[in-house]
Amino acid sequence: MMATLTLAWKSLLNRRYTVGLTVLAIALAVALLLGVERLRYEAHSGFTATISDTDLVVGARSSPVQLLLYSVFRMGEATSNISWRSYRHIADHPRVNWTVPLSLGDSHRGYPVLATNSDYFQYYRYADQRPLELKQGTQFEDVFEAVLGYEVAQKLGYQPGEEIVIAHGADDVAFVRHDDMPFTVVGILAPTRTAVDRTIHIPLEGFEAIHLGWEAGVPLPGRQVSADDARERDLTPKTITAFLVGLDSRAASFQLQRYVNNYPREALTAILPGVALHQLWDLLGTAEQALRLISWFVVGVGLLGMLSAQLSNLEARRREMAILRAVGAGPRYILMLICGEALLLALLGAVLGTVLLYAMIIGAGGLIEARFGLFIGLGGLRPMELAYLGIVLLAGLVSGLIPAIRAYRQAVVNGISMRM
């Protein structure tokens, strides 16, 4: 067997230019296939790890996926807000252990601003029930203090002690900035690889203070107040965007969910994060399968190119095959030789494709993380990726059967009598 593979390797080296192009085509196809799978896995892992140990997420009446996206992943906007009175009424339910109020809608240089309270740092969990940790500084205590997510601090170069200005809405333009009430950075969170890294956290009271004298997103002339005057006001929120709920028992989740969904005072929606995540992936499943199908088509094209190259080379190798037959090489040997060449081509393509995958992760991983917030790890190949490589190798071996069968069926006399 080793002698056959050695002869196959030498035969490939003799046709190095054609073989090189074939290997490159397979490598690009394999890199695309593994890249799509790696992106799918990392996106799924990143979304799943964003929130943990939270029993319910409550917001204004909307679809579960929409509520999950804007409250947990900071994507999109809320259809409406929740009154503070309703929030407090549900928070006082006997089955509720803790709640974390969330107010969204403002931003700073493209990053979302989340207004909350100290319970956020105490109860919020991500990944496998991991708590938030501070890399630098402390939690906010004053009305105009802010704690930055890791990515915000890294990308914008902020350190504790610096001042930042919050802008009203998602667009950071001059006429909607709250310039008169800047926030002082007091802490920077440790990296979590979740939406928390891309979020600026401020107190609920600070969120209320910067909107004093504003209506429908516009500052009212003559109604503005100073930061000192704002501190003297009652800064209890009138409304919030959503809130997270932790219960005394997981068994109470469906009971409280029913209670919130039928809440008589206003239209609310309570979702189970895990169920909503499953629904989200069902929505994305079609696109995911389409990308995977395209990748397999590209791999198929690469393997067809290899088959075409082998068949075309076979005509030029009729004398070589005939001589091998004449010196005693049987059909089995010819079959093993051609299949061995096909397997080596597929193996070289798979190895080079894997190398290209890691090169792309190193080269473009930072850009993908900066643009889309998706971290792509450099870990080893996962079982699904190894299975894909195995399928590629098997398909390459099978594709070698066609030229192999044609080769050993050629008559010895036809090969010998060919004109030089």
39-69 pLDDT, tens digit each: 888 777 777 778 888 999 999 998 998 999 9
Does residue 211 belong to any structural domain of this protein? yes
pLDDT 10s digits, 269-285 = 999 998 888 887 777 77
| Closest residue by Cα to residue 204 from 322, 84, 351, 90 | 84
Indicate whether 278 belongs to any domain: no
Q: Is 387 helix (H, G, I), strand (E, B) or coil?
A: helix
Residue 72 in contact with residue 57, Cβ under 8 Å?
Answer: yes
Residue 174 confidence (pLDDT): 47
Nearest to 275 by CA among 12, 48, 84: 48
Q: What is the pLDDT of residue 296?
A: 85
* Residues 287-321: tens digit of each pLDDT: 777 877 888 888 888 888 777 777 766 666 666 66
Which band of pLDDT confidence, cut at 50, 70 and 90, is reported for residue 3?
Answer: low
Residues 296 and 315 in one domain: yes
Domain identity same for 7 and 154: no
Say whether both 227 and 361 belong to one domain. no
pLDDT digits (tens, 9 = 90+) for 63-82: 998 999 999 988 888 878 99
pLDDT of residue 4: 56
pLDDT digits (tens, 9 = 90+) for 193-202: 888 999 999 9
Question: Which residues, in sequence order, are CB contacts of 372 under 8 Å at separation 6+?
Answer: none
255 assigned to some structural domain: yes
Task: Let me know whether 181 and 65 are in one domain.
Answer: yes
> Are residue 109 and residue 138 in the same domain, yes or no?
yes
**Mean pLDDT confidence for 223-246:** 86
Domain limit, last residue, from 210, 239, 271: 271
H helix runs in 317-416, sequence order? 318-326, 331-372, 383-399, 401-409, 412-416
What letter does residue 74 receive in the DSSP assignment? -
Domain hosting residue 87, numbered range: 56-271
The residues near 81 (Cβ < 8 Å, ≥ 6 apart) are 60, 239, 240, 241
pLDDT of res. 268: 94
Same domain assignment for residues 239 and 354: no
Predicted TM-score (pTM) of the model is: 0.73
Residues 323 and 401 in one domain: yes
Report which DSSP code applies to 211.
Answer: T
pLDDT of residue 325: 64
Tell me the pLDDT band of 227, cut-offs 50, 70 and 90: confident
